[in-house]
Structure 1
């Protein structure tokens, strides 16, 4: 099995009323935890790499880790660039073997976003690579993404047809109330997703795959594990999983998950250090961290995404 694009994954997901998990990867243990979980429940996968992860782990190392995962699992895996903000970054990933890239021109004007996205599409498609774009702006902080509440904007459904037609993009990330990072809502604020916007987009773009960014649920179990073992993450709140499941049953074919992976890993390591203060072998504390990621991903695949058994 070689790397695949998300085209067939999204077609089946749309028709089947489920979504594919797009999990951010940074190192070996994260790749292993995600892919071992997917193998056990026979789920298709998107592994995605941010610009920050690429700087941290090196493009070649990440490519080889994903290649190893394919050999070990024999699963259909799509390798995706998350939040590419320039043509040059997208081109580098396309030339370097990625099968999918996101060009995030949401910080530009509508016209400039179209121009930039179209340029990436025209380079990617002849090389067999698919392209995701973003319309609307999500608030929050994660890696290089830093958007204030004042600058965030819901996607305008009236713009989606023109955008998709003029760019030729393969999938579209929209803003309906999700947010990047672990602090998505203020204390006492009830999480809400604008399903009315999603429904209107679905009407205007029938059978077109929609993407949700900033969709971690910020699992309370791991937040508490961090806080009770020396961490300081008060008021960390995410997207309820039942809302994500509803979105997956609609036009949403890809749901991005990053913060939950970080919380699972960090919470497990903090707990291990607190319980084993004399240990110093990284394998000792990275093993339970990997298992925590595996358990988290399995839950997401089965109970949130609904893509178990769909590989």
Structure 2
């Protein structure tokens, strides 16, 4: 099946009151795991690549793997750039075949963020690519995108309203208490802030840094308008944890397939759990 824009998936998620999982495609085995989980759960899915993943694997390899995986199944799949922090990176991904991009200008002054986001949208819309933006700073670290936790700032609802009115962006990532990477304590999401942002913007909200957020908080966030939920760390934990387990069984093993195969299966299981949690299972 041909790749689809994230915006198309979020329209259906809005109608159904669920969220679509956005899972980071860091290597071939994880791409295969995302696709297998989506097939087993009969769910739409977003495969996303960060700037770090693109630097590691190469833009053509990422795009090629996802296109091959999606082509094998009758499942709606979007290929999304996660945290594109430069206009040039976003344009390269659009030219490379991505069906959705995130321009992350959250570190910039508001008006500069708006100006560049509008430029991205103008180009992306002309070729049917959807656009996600971000307001507020999400703590923790994700590949090369870092924000000191002490400087992490929540999204201002009125600023979000103004930003959406000025840009017409398809979806908005907001800072309401999540963090990239592994949590040092239990997160507490600001649901009042989320509800206000949703009320004022009336567009699909994106939740970044969702690995480690308790299930009940994820469900409540979805009930308040979150339609895309990003998961990366939980997949890495399951994948690498299983690799370590397999190597511990046989330290002399040199066949990578015997290590990466079980790791891929562990990734399938955690992704299936997330798909069910988000309410997107059985939606196709």
Task: Output the CA distance in 2 between the equivalents of 1:125 and 1:259.
Answer: 31
Q: Is structure 2 residue 219 aligned with structure 1 residue 205?
A: no
Match of 1:309 in 2: 282
Task: Output the CA distance in 1 between the equivalents of 2:188 and 2:84.
Answer: 27
Q: CA shift at 1:78, angstroms?
A: 0.5
SS in 2 for 1:73: coil
Task: Output the CA distance in 1 between the equivalents of 2:57 and 2:118.
Answer: 29
Q: Which moved more, 1:251-260 or 1:114-123?
A: 114-123
Check the 8 A contact 1:14/1:250 in 2, yes or no: no
1:218-259 residue CA offsets vs partner (Å, 9 max, x unmatched): xxxxxxxxxxxxxxxxxxxxx112211221222100000000
Check the 8 A contact 2:10/2:227 in 1, yes or no: yes
Match of 2:3 in 1: 3
Matches for 1:13-28 after TM superposition, within 5 Å: 13-28=13-28
Check the 8 A contact 2:34/2:271 in 1, yes or no: yes
Task: Output the CA distance in 1 between the equivalents of 2:171 and 2:180.
Answer: 19
Task: Output the CA distance in 1 between the equivalents of 2:50 and 2:41.
Answer: 26
1:101-151 residue CA offsets vs partner (Å, 9 max, x unmatched): 000000011111111111111111111111000011001011011101222
SS in 1 for 2:43: coil
Task: Output the CA distance in 2 between the equivalents of 1:160 and 1:71.
Answer: 37
Matches for 1:24-35 after TM superposition, within 5 Å: 24-35=24-35
Q: Is structure 2 residue 175 aligned with structure 1 residue 175?
A: yes
Task: Output the CA distance in 2 between the equivalents of 1:26 and 1:35.
Answer: 13
Check the 8 A contact 1:106/1:136 in 2, yes or no: yes
Task: Output the CA distance in 1 between the equivalents of 2:73 and 2:217.
Answer: 30
Q: Is structure 2 residue 211 aligned with structure 1 residue 216?
A: yes
Check the 8 A contact 2:135/2:155 in 1, yes or no: yes
SS in 1 for 2:149: coil
TM-score after normalising by structure 1: 0.89
Match of 1:267 in 2: 241
Q: Which runs of 5+ in 1 are unaligned?
A: 218-238
4+ long deviations beyond 4 Å: none
Task: Output the CA distance in 1 between the equivalents of 2:94 and 2:21.
Answer: 21
SS in 2 for 1:75: coil
Task: Output the CA distance in 1 between the equivalents of 2:166 and 2:188.
Answer: 31
Matches for 1:1-311 after TM superposition, within 5 Å: 1-182=1-182, 184-186=183-185, 190-206=186-202, 208-217=203-212, 239-302=213-276, 304-311=277-284
Q: CA shift at 1:5, angstroms?
A: 0.6
Check the 8 A contact 1:19/1:249 in 2, yes or no: no
Check the 8 A contact 2:6/2:80 in 1, yes or no: no
Match of 1:220 in 2: none
Task: Output the CA distance in 1 between the equivalents of 2:45 and 2:195.
Answer: 25
Q: CA shift at 1:15, angstroms?
A: 2.3
